[in-house]
Each structure stands twice: as structure tokens, then as C-alpha cells.
Amino acid sequence: MLYHRFRIALLCLTIALIGAGPQRQAFAQSDTSTETSEQDVTQVKAESNPVSAVNLKPIFAGTETPALIHLQPMQEHFITLVEKVRPATVGIVANGASGSGVIVSRDGFVLTAAHVISQPNVVATVILQDGTELKAITLGMNHDIDSGLLKITDDGKWPYLDMGESEPLKEGQWVMAIGHPGGFDGDRAPPIRVGRVISNSASVIQTDCTLVGGDSGGPLVDMQGDVIGIHSRIGGFLNQNYHVPVDTYLVNWDDLANKVVTGGGVTAVPVKIGFTIEGDSMIVTAVAKDGPAEKAGIQIGDTVLRINDRAVRNQGALRRQLSRLKPNDVVKVVVQRGEEELEFEVTVEAS
């Protein structure tokens, strides 16, 4: 009950952060006003607020379960983090499509997803939080992992976030997602979604941070405000989402900066299969109405055994199989229902 009360309170906090109004102050191009702060944002001022003396590091590392006593310090931390990450989060318009991105250098390199920019040498528009529109040029991209890079061509010194490390991320670690769902909207600041790491590999990070269309290319940050991933695609449900690890940008930086295109040029398309399982029991706990799974006949209470003749023993194995799917793929899903094993053909749909 305590944990559920905490989750409800945290949800209210997230809603409050999403609904926060935009900052309308003029953007100042100075050496200090927009530079990434060196302050460790996990350190709070206990002398001014004794409640803030609570140690949040084991909570954010996922090694301890939060309790109600942690809620106010977490709120203070999230507010500080939001103030740091929002100015560097930008809207992107390229090839007639819109998405998100994040500035990672003072001279205007912008990380995004490959499917947001599609191809190199395209003149794009980068939109700052206050609505300022800047010219940019698309650079390189890797369609296999969905990474992409732009460079702001207007003169200036821009707000930016440091690039962190994605390899050390652990399951349960707290993260924050930010972007421009539905495209840049001058009537609201870019919404914030707080969540945790579900899984992490060299090619993809999965979190339970909610994403919707338009968030693609926006930053996933750790609790220090460093970029650890870029939003790539939405999973079967809004809280099962995939991000490009920031380490892949660092490893391939020279190719990206030199407009090299890697992969078949097939853009990443969010897909859905339409069911949710509980833990590693593989029991279906929810089936999306009118989704692929419901149309095929899968029901709540079924236990997923195999997909395309491959055994599925835990959520990690299931996620790996689902991440390879494309819209209109037909997959065989074998489930246990009571004493029977039933096989269904599920047609994957675009999310």
C-alpha cells in the first residue's frame, strides 16, 4: 500500500512537471547563462530544508525502494533537473517531418534519431525552448541503430548538455525523458517523463518512460542531467520504449560528423503487438483493445511460451524478439491456456 501511495504521488508530480508553463524569457547568448552547470544536482541544500538531507543516490540507482519520506526530496531534485535539461532540448523540422533533439556542444551539434532527419545535407530547423528558430544541416546517421546528428549553422553559443555513458546503466536505475510530443508547441514547455531502466544493451536501452509521436530524437538523461540515450521507437505500450545508447554516438562520432550513412536506409517505425506480461512469469496481464493480440485471439491469463518457435523464458528474451519486428510481420505466438497449448498468428502493427 505504501508503494502504491508513493507511485500515485509521483504520478501527480510528473503531471505537474508536464503541465508547467513555458519560459518566455529572451535567450541570452553568453558564456555563463546557458552553460551546463557543474553542480552535482544530487546534492541538495539541507541547511535550508532539512527534509532534503535524505540520501537519494541509492533510490536513483535502483538499489533501494523509495518511501513517502523520499517524495519531497525527489520532487526538489526533479525540479532542479528540469531546469537543467529543458533549455538544451529542441524541436526539429526536417524533410517535412517534426521530431526532437538535444544540443550537446556549445557550437551546436545536435543528437537526434535517424528516422527524424532521414538523410544528410538537408537544411533543417532547430527550435529552442523560447521559440527561437535556428538553421541547421543534417549530417550522418546510422539507420541500423537509429542514431542521427545535425549541426546548427547559425552563429552563436548554445545551451547544451554533456554526454554521459550508457554502458553502466543498470536495471531499475531512474532516468528522465524529455521531448516535444506532437511537435514543438510554443504554448507549453517540453514535457518531462520520469521512469526507470527496464533493460540495457550495446544497441538499445529500454525504459518505462512514456513516449508518444514527436518525442523521437529527444534526450534520455540520468539523474545528473547527462544524456545517456536518444528516443528511438515506442514499444507495444506507451511505457515500454526504446532509446539509442549515447555510447553509440561517441563510438561513431567521426562518421556521423562526416555525413556517413550506415544501414539500409530503412527508417525505424514504432510497432505494437498489443499485450503486456507480468514480471518473468510470462502471464498476459493486459491485452490492448482492437490491438494485434486481441485480433489474433490472445487473452488475459494466457502464458506466453514461444514466439516464432523460439522459447520465451523472461521479459528480456521477449523484448529482444519484439525489437526485431516490423509492421505487417506475422509472428506465431504459442500460449498455455489451462491444459492446452494454443498457437496464434499475430500481425504486427505500426504504433
Is there a catalytic annotation at residue 309? no
Q: List the grid coordinates of 294.
A: 486481441
Q: List the grid coordinates of 176.
A: 528522465
Q: Helix crossing, 2-18 with 71-85: angle to 10°?
A: 30
Is there a catalytic annotation at residue 216? yes
User: Pick the catalytic residue: 98, 146, 208, 231?
Assistant: 146
Handedness of CA 192, 195, 199, 201 (dihedral sign): positive
Greatest CA separation for the chain:
69
Amino acid letter, 16:
A
Q: In this structure, are residues 35 and 161 in contact, taking their beta carbons and an 8 Å threshold?
A: no
Q: List the grid coordinates of 222.
A: 540520468
Q: In this structure, are residues 169 and 197 in contact, taking their beta carbons and an 8 Å threshold?
A: yes
Q: In this structure, are residues 272 and 351 in contact, taking their beta carbons and an 8 Å threshold?
A: yes
User: Pick the catalytic residue: 98, 118, 216, 351?
Assistant: 216
Helices and strands in the chain: count of H runs, count of E runs = 8, 21
Pair type for strands 271-272 and 349-350: antiparallel
Q: In this structure, are residues 113 and 268 in contact, taking their beta carbons and an 8 Å threshold?
A: yes
Distances (CA, A) of 149 to 26, 121, 172, 242: 26, 11, 29, 18
**CA–CA distance, 32 with 29 (Å, rounded to integer):** 9
**CA–CA distance, 153 with 235 (Å, rounded to integer):** 34
Give 344: exposed, middle or buried? Use CB within 10 Å, 0-12, 13-18, 19+.
middle
Is there a catalytic annotation at residue 143? no
User: Pick the catalytic residue: 115, 143, 231, 243?
Assistant: 115
In eight-state DSSP terms, residue 63 is S
- Virtual CA dihedral for 9, 14, 20, 25, nearest 10 degrees? 130
Q: Cell numbers 521479459 label which residue? A: 315
Catalytically active residues are 115, 146, 216
